[in-house]
Amino acid sequence: MSLQKLSIATLQKVQGYVRQSLQLPELEDHPRAEAVSDGLDEIPEPSSLDGLGDLFRVGSTPDESVSIPNVNGRWFVSTVDAGRALTRLPIQLKAGLRLVTYLYRTEDVGQGATWAIPEQLSTTAQLEAALSAATDADNPPYPDGAMLKVMSGITGDRSVLSFVTASIVSRELQEFGCTGSRCDWSHHRFIATVPRQRDWKWRMTPPNDLQPKARLLPDGQAAVEFYTCRVVAPIGIYRHVDQYPAKGYMAKSKAQPEATVPVPVPSA
Protein backbone atom coordinates (compact mmCIF):
# COMPACT_ATOMS: atom_id res chain seq x y z
CA MET A 1 0.00 0.00 0.00
CA SER A 2 1.46 3.34 -1.06
CA LEU A 3 0.38 6.75 0.23
CA GLN A 4 1.74 9.84 -1.45
CA LYS A 5 1.14 13.48 -0.61
CA LEU A 6 1.08 16.08 -3.35
CA SER A 7 1.61 19.80 -3.40
CA ILE A 8 -1.12 22.31 -4.16
CA ALA A 9 1.16 23.64 -6.90
CA THR A 10 1.00 20.28 -8.69
CA LEU A 11 -2.81 20.25 -8.74
CA GLN A 12 -2.93 23.88 -9.81
CA LYS A 13 -0.50 23.22 -12.65
CA VAL A 14 -2.60 20.34 -13.99
CA GLN A 15 -5.80 22.33 -13.64
CA GLY A 16 -4.28 25.38 -15.32
CA TYR A 17 -3.12 23.33 -18.30
CA VAL A 18 -6.53 21.67 -18.72
CA ARG A 19 -8.40 24.97 -18.48
CA GLN A 20 -6.08 26.64 -20.95
CA SER A 21 -6.69 23.78 -23.38
CA LEU A 22 -10.47 23.98 -22.93
CA GLN A 23 -10.97 27.48 -24.28
CA LEU A 24 -14.13 28.07 -26.29
CA PRO A 25 -14.06 30.42 -29.27
CA GLU A 26 -15.73 33.74 -28.45
CA LEU A 27 -18.54 33.15 -30.94
CA GLU A 28 -19.44 29.86 -29.25
CA ASP A 29 -19.03 31.06 -25.67
CA HIS A 30 -20.96 34.30 -26.26
CA PRO A 31 -22.99 33.87 -29.45
CA ARG A 32 -24.48 36.93 -31.05
CA ALA A 33 -28.21 37.38 -31.03
CA GLU A 34 -28.14 37.79 -34.79
CA ALA A 35 -25.54 36.60 -37.29
CA VAL A 36 -23.79 39.19 -39.46
CA SER A 37 -25.46 39.05 -42.85
CA ASP A 38 -23.67 41.66 -44.90
CA GLY A 39 -20.66 43.93 -44.91
CA LEU A 40 -17.22 42.38 -45.25
CA ASP A 41 -15.81 44.97 -42.87
CA GLU A 42 -17.90 43.42 -40.08
CA ILE A 43 -16.31 39.97 -40.46
CA PRO A 44 -13.41 39.62 -38.00
CA GLU A 45 -10.01 38.50 -39.20
CA PRO A 46 -9.21 35.07 -37.70
CA SER A 47 -6.23 35.18 -35.38
CA SER A 48 -5.42 31.48 -35.90
CA LEU A 49 -6.51 28.39 -37.78
CA ASP A 50 -8.90 27.66 -34.92
CA GLY A 51 -10.58 30.95 -35.68
CA LEU A 52 -11.50 29.81 -39.18
CA GLY A 53 -14.36 27.81 -37.72
CA ASP A 54 -15.83 31.03 -36.36
CA LEU A 55 -15.29 32.87 -39.63
CA PHE A 56 -17.26 30.33 -41.61
CA ARG A 57 -20.12 30.58 -39.12
CA VAL A 58 -20.41 34.36 -39.47
CA GLY A 59 -23.07 35.32 -41.96
CA SER A 60 -24.87 31.99 -41.78
CA THR A 61 -28.65 32.10 -41.86
CA PRO A 62 -30.18 30.88 -38.58
CA ASP A 63 -32.01 27.63 -39.20
CA GLU A 64 -33.45 25.13 -36.74
CA SER A 65 -31.79 22.31 -38.68
CA VAL A 66 -28.32 23.87 -38.74
CA SER A 67 -25.92 23.58 -35.80
CA ILE A 68 -24.65 27.15 -35.45
CA PRO A 69 -23.91 29.09 -32.24
CA ASN A 70 -27.05 30.79 -30.95
CA VAL A 71 -28.62 32.22 -27.81
CA ASN A 72 -32.06 30.85 -28.63
CA GLY A 73 -31.83 27.77 -26.43
CA ARG A 74 -30.87 25.38 -29.24
CA TRP A 75 -28.00 22.96 -28.66
CA PHE A 76 -25.15 23.11 -31.19
CA VAL A 77 -21.92 21.19 -31.81
CA SER A 78 -18.75 22.93 -30.62
CA THR A 79 -15.72 23.14 -32.90
CA VAL A 80 -13.42 22.55 -29.91
CA ASP A 81 -11.61 19.22 -29.63
CA ALA A 82 -11.72 18.69 -25.86
CA GLY A 83 -9.33 15.76 -26.27
CA ARG A 84 -6.45 18.17 -26.75
CA ALA A 85 -6.59 18.83 -23.00
CA LEU A 86 -5.11 15.35 -22.49
CA THR A 87 -2.16 15.80 -24.86
CA ARG A 88 0.56 16.21 -22.24
CA LEU A 89 -1.02 14.37 -19.32
CA PRO A 90 -0.49 10.86 -17.86
CA ILE A 91 -4.03 9.94 -18.96
CA GLN A 92 -5.25 9.66 -22.56
CA LEU A 93 -8.30 8.78 -24.59
CA LYS A 94 -8.58 5.12 -25.49
CA ALA A 95 -7.64 4.33 -29.08
CA GLY A 96 -10.38 5.00 -31.61
CA LEU A 97 -12.27 7.51 -29.46
CA ARG A 98 -12.69 11.27 -29.59
CA LEU A 99 -14.33 13.83 -27.34
CA VAL A 100 -17.26 15.81 -28.70
CA THR A 101 -18.86 18.77 -26.93
CA TYR A 102 -22.34 20.19 -27.36
CA LEU A 103 -23.20 23.69 -26.14
CA TYR A 104 -26.42 25.37 -25.07
CA ARG A 105 -26.78 29.12 -24.74
CA THR A 106 -29.47 31.61 -23.81
CA GLU A 107 -29.04 35.13 -22.46
CA ASP A 108 -29.00 33.69 -18.92
CA VAL A 109 -27.94 30.04 -19.17
CA GLY A 110 -24.83 28.34 -20.48
CA GLN A 111 -24.56 24.55 -20.45
CA GLY A 112 -22.15 22.05 -21.99
CA ALA A 113 -22.12 18.29 -22.51
CA THR A 114 -18.99 16.37 -23.51
CA TRP A 115 -19.11 12.76 -24.71
CA ALA A 116 -16.53 10.14 -25.63
CA ILE A 117 -17.59 8.49 -28.88
CA PRO A 118 -16.00 6.22 -31.51
CA GLU A 119 -14.27 8.21 -34.24
CA GLN A 120 -16.24 6.45 -36.98
CA LEU A 121 -19.48 7.76 -35.43
CA SER A 122 -18.28 11.36 -35.10
CA THR A 123 -19.07 12.76 -38.54
CA THR A 124 -20.85 16.11 -38.60
CA ALA A 125 -24.06 14.55 -39.90
CA GLN A 126 -24.10 11.94 -37.12
CA LEU A 127 -23.36 14.47 -34.39
CA GLU A 128 -26.06 16.85 -35.60
CA ALA A 129 -28.58 14.03 -35.88
CA ALA A 130 -28.65 13.91 -32.07
CA LEU A 131 -29.75 17.55 -31.85
CA SER A 132 -33.37 16.80 -32.70
CA ALA A 133 -33.90 14.88 -29.45
CA ALA A 134 -32.34 17.57 -27.23
CA THR A 135 -35.13 19.58 -25.60
CA ASP A 136 -33.59 21.92 -23.04
CA ALA A 137 -30.50 22.68 -20.95
CA ASP A 138 -31.07 19.62 -18.76
CA ASN A 139 -31.55 17.24 -21.70
CA PRO A 140 -28.43 17.48 -23.90
CA PRO A 141 -27.92 15.66 -27.21
CA TYR A 142 -26.76 12.07 -26.83
CA PRO A 143 -25.04 10.92 -30.04
CA ASP A 144 -25.08 7.30 -31.17
CA GLY A 145 -22.26 5.25 -29.64
CA ALA A 146 -21.49 7.75 -26.87
CA MET A 147 -20.29 6.33 -23.56
CA LEU A 148 -22.58 7.07 -20.62
CA LYS A 149 -19.64 8.49 -18.67
CA VAL A 150 -16.84 10.33 -20.45
CA MET A 151 -14.18 8.98 -18.07
CA SER A 152 -15.00 5.45 -19.24
CA GLY A 153 -13.08 6.37 -22.37
CA ILE A 154 -9.90 7.26 -20.48
CA THR A 155 -6.80 5.16 -19.95
CA GLY A 156 -3.45 5.89 -18.29
CA ASP A 157 -0.27 4.61 -16.67
CA ARG A 158 -1.91 3.90 -13.25
CA SER A 159 0.54 6.19 -11.47
CA VAL A 160 -0.37 8.41 -8.52
CA LEU A 161 -0.25 11.45 -10.78
CA SER A 162 -2.54 9.79 -13.31
CA PHE A 163 -5.29 9.33 -10.71
CA VAL A 164 -4.93 12.86 -9.38
CA THR A 165 -5.03 14.13 -12.96
CA ALA A 166 -8.15 12.07 -13.67
CA SER A 167 -9.88 13.59 -10.64
CA ILE A 168 -9.20 17.08 -11.98
CA VAL A 169 -9.98 16.30 -15.63
CA SER A 170 -13.31 14.65 -14.83
CA ARG A 171 -14.49 17.76 -12.98
CA GLU A 172 -13.23 20.15 -15.65
CA LEU A 173 -14.93 18.20 -18.45
CA GLN A 174 -18.17 17.95 -16.48
CA GLU A 175 -18.31 21.75 -16.22
CA PHE A 176 -16.85 22.54 -19.64
CA GLY A 177 -19.18 24.94 -21.43
CA CYS A 178 -21.15 25.90 -18.32
CA THR A 179 -21.69 29.50 -17.30
CA GLY A 180 -23.41 31.45 -14.54
CA SER A 181 -25.60 29.45 -12.17
CA ARG A 182 -24.63 26.24 -13.97
CA CYS A 183 -21.10 26.50 -12.55
CA ASP A 184 -20.01 24.90 -9.29
CA TRP A 185 -16.55 23.38 -9.59
CA SER A 186 -15.09 26.60 -11.03
CA HIS A 187 -15.87 28.30 -7.70
CA HIS A 188 -13.62 25.87 -5.78
CA ARG A 189 -9.94 26.50 -4.94
CA PHE A 190 -7.47 23.84 -3.81
CA ILE A 191 -6.27 24.32 -0.23
CA ALA A 192 -3.74 22.64 2.06
CA THR A 193 -4.49 24.73 5.14
CA VAL A 194 -7.62 26.30 6.56
CA PRO A 195 -8.17 29.85 5.24
CA ARG A 196 -8.03 32.27 8.15
CA GLN A 197 -10.26 34.97 6.70
CA ARG A 198 -13.48 33.25 7.82
CA ASP A 199 -15.16 32.19 11.05
CA TRP A 200 -15.66 28.55 10.09
CA LYS A 201 -18.36 26.34 11.54
CA TRP A 202 -17.11 22.76 11.33
CA ARG A 203 -19.35 19.76 10.79
CA MET A 204 -16.99 17.65 12.93
CA THR A 205 -13.51 18.07 14.39
CA PRO A 206 -11.34 20.02 11.93
CA PRO A 207 -8.93 17.72 10.05
CA ASN A 208 -5.26 17.88 10.99
CA ASP A 209 -4.03 17.49 7.42
CA LEU A 210 -5.67 19.04 4.37
CA GLN A 211 -2.83 18.32 1.96
CA PRO A 212 -3.83 16.44 -1.23
CA LYS A 213 -2.94 12.77 -1.16
CA ALA A 214 -3.38 9.57 -3.13
CA ARG A 215 -3.23 5.92 -2.10
CA LEU A 216 -2.43 2.99 -4.38
CA LEU A 217 -3.63 -0.43 -3.21
CA PRO A 218 -1.93 -3.77 -4.04
CA ASP A 219 -4.95 -4.95 -6.05
CA GLY A 220 -4.72 -1.96 -8.40
CA GLN A 221 -7.43 0.17 -6.80
CA ALA A 222 -6.64 3.76 -5.88
CA ALA A 223 -8.07 6.65 -3.88
CA VAL A 224 -7.54 10.39 -4.16
CA GLU A 225 -8.37 12.91 -1.43
CA PHE A 226 -8.14 16.68 -1.54
CA TYR A 227 -9.79 19.75 -0.01
CA THR A 228 -11.15 22.86 -1.64
CA CYS A 229 -12.61 26.15 -0.50
CA ARG A 230 -15.69 27.31 -2.34
CA VAL A 231 -15.21 31.06 -2.65
CA VAL A 232 -18.75 31.95 -3.82
CA ALA A 233 -21.82 31.55 -1.63
CA PRO A 234 -22.47 29.13 -0.13
CA ILE A 235 -18.86 29.50 1.00
CA GLY A 236 -17.39 26.37 2.54
CA ILE A 237 -14.52 23.92 2.89
CA TYR A 238 -15.11 20.68 1.01
CA ARG A 239 -13.50 17.27 1.24
CA HIS A 240 -13.35 15.39 -2.05
CA VAL A 241 -12.70 11.63 -2.21
CA ASP A 242 -12.44 9.67 -5.46
CA GLN A 243 -12.24 5.86 -5.37
CA TYR A 244 -10.86 4.19 -8.50
CA PRO A 245 -11.41 0.54 -9.50
CA ALA A 246 -8.58 -1.84 -10.33
CA LYS A 247 -9.20 -1.16 -14.01
CA GLY A 248 -10.16 2.11 -15.63
CA TYR A 249 -10.49 5.71 -14.46
CA MET A 250 -14.23 5.86 -13.74
CA ALA A 251 -14.21 6.88 -10.08
CA LYS A 252 -16.86 6.86 -7.41
CA SER A 253 -16.73 10.46 -6.22
CA LYS A 254 -17.92 12.10 -3.04
CA ALA A 255 -17.78 15.78 -2.14
CA GLN A 256 -18.86 16.81 1.33
CA PRO A 257 -18.85 20.22 3.04
CA GLU A 258 -16.75 20.01 6.19
CA ALA A 259 -17.05 23.65 7.23
CA THR A 260 -19.37 26.51 6.39
CA VAL A 261 -19.60 30.22 7.11
CA PRO A 262 -22.61 31.08 9.29
CA VAL A 263 -25.01 33.49 7.61
CA PRO A 264 -25.49 36.61 9.72
CA VAL A 265 -29.02 37.03 11.07
CA PRO A 266 -30.37 40.51 10.24
CA SER A 267 -31.07 42.59 13.31
CA ALA A 268 -34.67 43.58 13.94
Q: Which tens digit of pLDDT belongs to each residue from 125-149?
A: 999 999 999 999 999 999 999 999 9
CA 61, CA 191: separation in Å to the nearest integer?
A: 48
Is 136 in contact with 221 (CB distance < 8 Å)?
no
pLDDT at 62: 40
Bridge partner residues of 94 (DSSP): none
For residue 32, the model assigns a pLDDT of 83
Q: How far apart are CA 61 and CA 174, in angstroms?
A: 31
25-39, 57-71, 171-185, 240-254, range with the lowest pLDDT: 57-71
pLDDT confidence of residue 116: 98
Q: Binning pLDDT at 50, 70 and 90, where does residue 63 land?
A: very low
Q: What pLDDT was estimated at residue 262? A: 83
The residue that leads in pLDDT, 46 or 71, is 71
d(CA 140, CA 149): 14
User: What is the predicted pLDDT for the residue at 41?
Assistant: 43
Predicted confidence at residue 198, as pLDDT, reads 82
CB count in 10 Å sphere of residue 240:
19
- Supply the pLDDT for residue 72: 95
Percentage of the chain with pLDDT > 90? 81
Helix (H), strand (E) at residue 155: strand 154-156
Q: Which ranges of 155-236 would DSSP assign to H, the alpha helix?
A: 160-175
Cβ atoms 53, 78 nearer than 8 A:
no
Run of H or E residues at 8: helix 8-21
Average of per-residue pLDDT across 177-194? 97
Q: Give the CA-trace dihedral at 240, 241, 245, 249, to 10 degrees.
A: 20
Poorest-pLDDT segment among 67-71, 146-150, 244-248: 67-71
Per-residue pLDDT, 40 = 40
Give the confidence band of 266 by pLDDT, cuts at 50, 70, 90.
low
Q: Cβ-count burial of 97 within 10 angstroms (0-12 exposed, 13-18 middle, 19+ buried)?
A: buried
* Paired residues of 62 in beta bridges: none
Cis check: omega of the bond before 234, within 30 degrees of 0: yes
Half-sphere exposure at residue 248, Cβ-oriented, CA atoms within 13 angstroms: 11
CA distances from 196 to 116, 179, 214, 237 (A): 41, 29, 26, 12
Q: What are phi and psi of 53, to 5 degrees?
A: -60, -40
pLDDT in tens, 96-127: 999 999 999 999 999 999 999 999 999 999 99
Instruction: Give the pLDDT score at 220.
Output: 94
pTM score: 0.87
Beta carbons within 10 angstroms of residue 116's beta carbon = 23
The alpha helices in 66-221, defined as continuous H runs, are 124-129, 160-175
